[in-house]
Amino acid sequence: MIPEQPSEKMTVSKLRQMKKEKKPAAWVTAYTLSSAEPAQSTHVDMILVGDSGGMVELGYETTNPVTMDEMLMFAKAIRRAAPHTFVIGDMPQGSYETSPRDAVRNALRFIKEAGCDAVKCEGGRRMTKPIRAIVDAGVLVIGHLGLTPQSTASFGGYRVQGKTKKSFEAIIEDAWALEEVGVFAILLEAMPSMPAEQIAFQLDIPVYGIGAGGRVDGQLIIMHDLLGDYQAFRPWFAKCFIPDVEGAFHQYLSQIGDPRKVGRETREDGIRVLRRIAVQRYIEDVRTGKYPGEEYSYPLKAEDLEELKSSRYWKDIPKEPSMITNVPTQVDSGIIVGSSAQGNGSGQEFNRSDVEPPAHLLV
Ligand code: KIV
């Protein structure tokens, strides 16, 4: 079920080609050997060494305390464990906003000391100076817009972005500014699928999503959410794939032979295999458009969509047959895509209390 040979390493031109061909990219975060192994062995398109590692591996409450040295430790571990995968180092808070000089120095540490292929920076127009400096130094950069966890304080918490005309216009202007300074791709976090689709459609570079619905050029998920390995906070859009692969894991176990006959020391019969099967399922579901689908996308009310459509930046998108088949669809009930926030009544915010499933997911 899981291909054995490492595939060729991803390149920027392949990512662009995938966008053209409407083949969604599937990537994950990883921080240490245990998360790198399933990513590398299942041939994810890219690994993000996210500063989320500070929360899921080091126990910080937010990503803000994470340091460059901690990020480099994660990134080096990932490079050792996944030598064939395109690895992106996430610039932690304070490592690039301070000055273009700091930004270049720290980006180059990811490349030279940890062997990363690219770096990620949060922020749009207000960050173009440091980001341009990194690009000019010859380092590949992916931008991160929408909900940007390093500046949650300025958003008033973890709030879904891009739902209002003002918010959508700010994000697309940020995206154009980043494209102009030369980022190779953009990641959108926590926004409904239709405004995210507009941004993916209007940019030449690939636009990926984490909680941005199924109409973008690919998906990122935090490994610990995919595996259900971090319970303190899991946003609605993040699916735990373990329940889906329970049967496949049992079937695998039933086929690997009697431990009295197969060497107990070499028998692969544990969590390592389960992780791989789960990551493999995530990749398949992204490629076929099954994930995120409606269930793991943020909803948009009909009146909010109408307001968005009145934006000077909103474009008609010709509907053509797409590789991404199972994307969220408009329904008549006033909600455009169904999911979590619909159930908690606010439709705006996800936080720890959103860990309770909405009623429609309980049936
Ligand atoms: O640190 C991280 O994993 C991230 C994702 C939330 C996009 O930045």
Q: Residue 218 sits in a domain of what CATH number? A: 3.20.20.60
Pick from 48, 78, 93 the residue to mutate for probing ligand 1's pocket: most ligand atoms within 8 Å of its CB.
Answer: 48
Q: Quick one: average pLDDT of 131-150?
A: 97
Looking at residue 352, what DSSP letter applies? G
* Average pLDDT score over the chain: 87
3 within some domain: no
Q: Quick one: average pLDDT of 240-268?
A: 86
4 within some domain: no
Q: What share of the chain is helix, strand, coil (3-state, %, to 5)?
A: 40, 10, 45
- Which single residue is written with the structure tokens 């030449």? 204
* The amino acid at 112: K
Residue 4 CA to ligand 1 center (angstroms) comes to 28
More confident: 149 or 143: 143
pLDDT on residue 339: 28
Residue 74 has pLDDT above 60, yes or no: yes
pLDDT on residue 263: 74
Ligand 1 environment, Cβ below 6 A: 29, 48, 50-52, 63, 90, 149, 187, 189, 210, 220, 222
Q: Give which of 119, 121, 73, 120 is closest to 98, Cα–Cα.
A: 121
The number of the ligand 1 atom at minimal distance from the alpha carbon of 63 is 1
pLDDT on residue 72: 98
Residue 88 CA to ligand 1 center (angstroms) comes to 11
Q: Quick one: average pLDDT of 283-296?
A: 97
19 within some domain: yes
pLDDT on residue 158: 77
Residue 346 has pLDDT above 50, yes or no: no
pLDDT on residue 7: 61
43 within some domain: yes
Helix (H, G, I), strand (E, B) or coil at 250: helix
Of 48-62, 145-159, 255-269, the range with the lowest mean pLDDT is: 255-269
pLDDT on residue 138: 98
2 within some domain: no
Assign 264 a pLDDT band (cuts: 50, 70, 90).
confident
Q: Quick one: average pLDDT of 52-57?
A: 97
1 within some domain: no
Residue 330 has pLDDT above 80, yes or no: no
Pick from 49, 78, 189 the residue to mutate for probing ligand 1's pocket: most ligand atoms within 8 Å of its CB.
Answer: 189
Asked whether the beta carbons of 298 and 213 are under 8 A apart, the reply is yes
* The amino acid at 53: G
For the question of residue 356 being annotated catalytic, the response is: no
Of 29-33, 67-71, 93-97, 229-233, the range with the lowest mean pLDDT is: 229-233
The pTM (predicted TM-score) of the whole model is: 0.87
50 within some domain: yes
**CB-count exposure of residue 213 (10 Å: 0-12, 13-18, 19+):** buried
Integer Cα distance of 363 and 345 in angstroms = 18
Residue 158 CA to ligand 1 center (angstroms) comes to 13
pLDDT on residue 268: 87
Looking at residue 239, what DSSP letter applies? P
Give the percent of the chain with pLDDT over 90. Answer: 76
Residue 356 has pLDDT above 50, yes or no: no
Looking at the structure of the chain, the number of domains it has is: 1
Structural domain of 126: 9-363
236 within some domain: yes
Residues 157-187: pLDDT tens digits? 678 999 999 999 999 999 999 999 999 999 9
Integer Cα distance of 334 and 153 in angstroms = 31
Residue nearest to atom 8 of ligand 1 (CA): 50
Residue 52 CA to ligand 1 center (angstroms) comes to 5
Q: Return phi, psi of residue 26, to 5°.
A: -125, 120
